[in-house]
Amino acid sequence: MPQISPTGPIQPRAAVLWHGADYNPDQWPPETLDEDVQLMRQAGVNAVSLGIFSWAQLETAPGRFDFDWMDRAFEKLWAGGVHVALATPTAAPPRWMTAAEPQVLAVSASGTRLPHGGRQRFCPTSPAYRRHVERINTALAQRYGGHPALMLWHISNEYVSNCHCPLCAEAFIGYLKQRYGDLATLNAQWWAAFWSQRFAAWEQVEPPRPAHGTVPHGLTLDWQRFRSHQMCEFFKFEAATVRAVTPEVPITTNMMGKFPGLDYAAFAEVMDVVSWDCYGSVGADPVHMAFDHSLMRGMKDNRPWLLIEQTPSATNWQEYGTLKPPGVLRLWSLQAIGHGSDSAMYFQWRRSRGASEKFHGAVVEHAAGSRARVFGEVAALGAELKQLSPIVIGTAVTPARIGILCDQESRWAFENAAGYARDKRYLGELQRHFRAVWTQNLRIDVVQHHRDWSGYDILIAPRLYMLKSGLFPREGTPEQLAARVDVAAKLAAFVERGGTLVVGCLSGIVNESDLVYEGGYPGPLRQLLGIWVEQTDCLPPSAPGSFANGMSLDRDVLALPSVSCGCDRFFDRVHLRGATAAAAYTGNWYAGEPCLTVHRHGHGEAWYIATDPEAAFLEQFYRHLAARHGLHPTIEPVAEVEVLTRRGGGREVLFILNHAPEPRSVAIAPNADAAAADAPGASTAAWHDAHTDTVWPQRLELAPLQVRIAQRRLDRTTG
């Protein structure tokens, strides 16, 4: 596997910010290629993702390849200075294959073999499909592996996994045997005595289908896990086919942010570089993308990653095809780069004439070619990225010391739990806490449970519903075994050495099989938090700005500017067992009972928030906790202005983004606390504008949607 430094570049042969798009010359008459390359030069395009979904054009019959069009594309693109992220075309098999071997297609939950159709409809277990995949991938790698334009493998496209065929069902049983070892353990972990669900033989376990009605939650959860695992094994298989020929070419597959279907943490172990497709909605809160970028880059220790798809204008699948107003393309591209991306790429280069994506945004639209507004904005960004490349490449997001714990399996279990409320959104609450830190201009990462936490001072776990014991799976792949972690023990060690932990309500409820911890919530965290929770009240969410209950703070314990705030939705009834109450409910029949507690443990402290407090409280609370660790915003927060930094190569790069449709004014002079306290790596060197190299004034005026970028030297020891 290629060795990529933690600050990049991702590919030393293409050590620039990649600017480009999904490109399918196979969908166009051959003469379009020359015009496209010409337009790409004009647009400052230096990279394309080539051949996604092109299988039928590459292999016209089993083993009969037509590489002519791709040969021409490689040559002309390379002559035009454009690198290639070469796709394995395997997300959509050709018709000759599905006609001859329908078993390559997935079986739906109702038991029907899918007919040939759109994309991502194959069975990840099918040996026949794997044979075909190996043949085309190997042929592509052998043909283009030595081409100087090849910089990256783009494996498949947006994996989705939901096959219920007999082969998958059999593999599921094998997976469960490894996970639990014996049926008695499986029955116990799934609480299978309930409703006579007990399994007397492995063969009785079936993938859950709607017709089964309610099945044990442990089964639903394991099926979800297995589907993700099986597709990840397929991804591994695909990766191996090209790695065998081109071990030095990095590999990615494009992920989909908050997509609920897969556990991307496992996929990240297979890829050399993270990439993802970001389709923000015009007018949405910018925190959504900030969170998603952090979630995606956190899959691989916050190393440089790739924004591999975004629309240049509108999508064809969001509720409304709203065009990105002028300036938004630049703003969102630079937001991604500020969050650690080494690219700004689009879906798609040329807007197709037919089929389902003909009204999806593209760099080259149906009308006006290079004269169109969108093309102009893309070309302007291309020129700017060329200028920014030497400053940005070789840096990665500045390490954060605050992290928010996120776990897809916990999300699956929480959202599937029958109880508390029907509408339970795991990521929604994580995002509220993330936002409260992010709006303070304090750096924050989204952190996976099995990654290294040693760089963090503060860890936030708003909905740690599932607390993995680390006991399962009993056996598994090396990656599965490495991901096994006793989360409570890891958290205790974190606090012990001086960390601050914040746990939110509905945490520590179940183990990794969705089996409830007895003796009071939050299960194995009771001792660390010095509390136990008896029960949780749940009320419908209040209208914006009003709250079902309140929190009254004890200022001797927690001195925040406000002494009271609202709280909503979930209300734990907490008993103290060593912890100190820092706030009490002001209303309902449990008024006066604790709703915020703190407990010292080792050199650190563990907080428990027993409810969902209003955003204003969370902002004050996190700013207070951060200050106690000497963490202060480098630049004072201004509403709707995002501040991001990257570091590496002895320099720091600062991005200031005005997401507001109005002008904003930002004080650049570092706040006195921050200059001293933001160490290691603090610098008081002046910020130099990335474009003009002039020293920035003490106050920066930003036009609506404007982004300003600067750099400064870092101490030699810290850069």
Select 54 or 157, whichever has its Cβ closest to ligand GAL. Answer: 157
350 interacts with ligand GAL by CB under 6 A? no
The angle formed by the CA atoms of residues 280, 344 and 401, to the nearest 5 degrees, is 75
Choosing from 59, 238, 309, 377, which is the catalytic residue?
309
Cβ-contact 477, 179 below 8 angstroms: no
Residues in region 230-269 near ligand GAL by CB under 6 A:
254
Cβ-contact 133, 88 below 8 angstroms: yes
Q: In angstroms, give the least distance from the CB of 417 to ligand GAL.
A: 29
Select 121 or 164, whichever has its Cβ closest to ligand GAL. Answer: 121
Nearest to 47 by CA among 77, 9, 13: 77
309 interacts with ligand GAL by CB under 6 A? yes
Cβ-contact 229, 480 below 8 angstroms: yes
292 interacts with ligand GAL by CB under 6 A? no
Tokens representing residue 497 in the block: 């050495």
305 interacts with ligand GAL by CB under 6 A? no
Pairwise CA distance, residues 10 & 31, whole Å: 33
Return the amino acid letter for 444: I
Q: Which residue number is nearest to ligand GAL in terms of Cβ?
A: 347
Pairwise CA distance, residues 316 & 358, whole Å: 8
3 state SS for 37-94: HHHHHHCCCCEEEECCCCHHHHEEECCEECCHHHHHHHHHHHHCCCEEEEECCCCCCC
Select 114 or 345, whichever has its Cβ closest to ligand GAL. Answer: 345
Integer CA distances (angstroms), 136 to 63, 152, 236, 314, in order: 8, 17, 16, 33
Tokens representing residue 342 in the block: 């080494």
360 interacts with ligand GAL by CB under 6 A? yes
Tokens representing residue 560 in the block: 């925040």
Q: In angstroms, give the least distance from the CB of 311 to ligand GAL.
A: 6
Burial of 50 per CB tally in 10 Å (0-12, 13-18, 19+): buried
158 interacts with ligand GAL by CB under 6 A? yes
Choosing from 59, 158, 269, 512, which is the catalytic residue?
158
Residues 6+ positions from 395 with CB-CB distance below 8 Å: 7, 8, 304, 646, 647, 648, 649, 651, 652, 653
Tokens representing residue 164 in the block: 């219920």
Sole binder of ligand GAL in the list 253, 315, 341, 431 (CB under 6 A): 315
Whether residue 309 lies in the annotated active site? yes
Tokens representing residue 330 in the block: 């630049």
Sole binder of ligand GAL in the list 264, 346, 347, 414 (CB under 6 A): 347
Cβ-contact 549, 570 below 8 angstroms: no
What is the Cα gyration radius of the chain?
26
Pairwise CA distance, residues 136 & 115, whole Å: 22
Residues in region 171-200 near ligand GAL by CB under 6 A:
none
Select 7 or 310, whichever has its Cβ closest to ligand GAL. Answer: 310
Select 87 or 515, whichever has its Cβ closest to ligand GAL. Answer: 87
Q: In angstroms, give the least distance from the CB of 670 to ligand GAL.
A: 40
Select 89 or 648, whichever has its Cβ closest to ligand GAL. Answer: 89
Residues 6+ positions from 371 with CB-CB distance below 8 Å: none
Question: How many Cα atoms sit within 13 Å of 210 on the Cβ side?
Answer: 4
Select 122 or 521, whichever has its Cβ closest to ligand GAL. Answer: 122
Select 254 or 410, whichever has its Cβ closest to ligand GAL. Answer: 254
Nearest to 151 by CA among 20, 300, 31: 20
Tell me how far the alpha carbon of residue 417 is from its chain's centroid.
23
Select 330 or 360, whichever has its Cβ closest to ligand GAL. Answer: 360
Whether residue 75 lies in the annotated active site? no
605 interacts with ligand GAL by CB under 6 A? no
Select 36 or 309, whichever has its Cβ closest to ligand GAL. Answer: 309
Cβ-contact 688, 711 below 8 angstroms: yes
277 interacts with ligand GAL by CB under 6 A? yes
Question: How many Cα atoms sit within 13 Å of 689 on the Cβ side?
Answer: 11
DSSP letters of 671-698?
PHHHHHHT-SS---PPPEETTT-PBPPS
For 166, the 3-state DSSP assignment is helix
Select 309 or 605, whichever has its Cβ closest to ligand GAL. Answer: 309
Question: How many Cα atoms sit within 13 Å of 186 on the Cβ side?
Answer: 24
Q: Which residues bind ligand GAL (CB under 6 A)?
A: 157-158, 254, 277, 279, 309, 315, 347, 357, 360
Q: Report the catalytic residues.
A: 158, 309
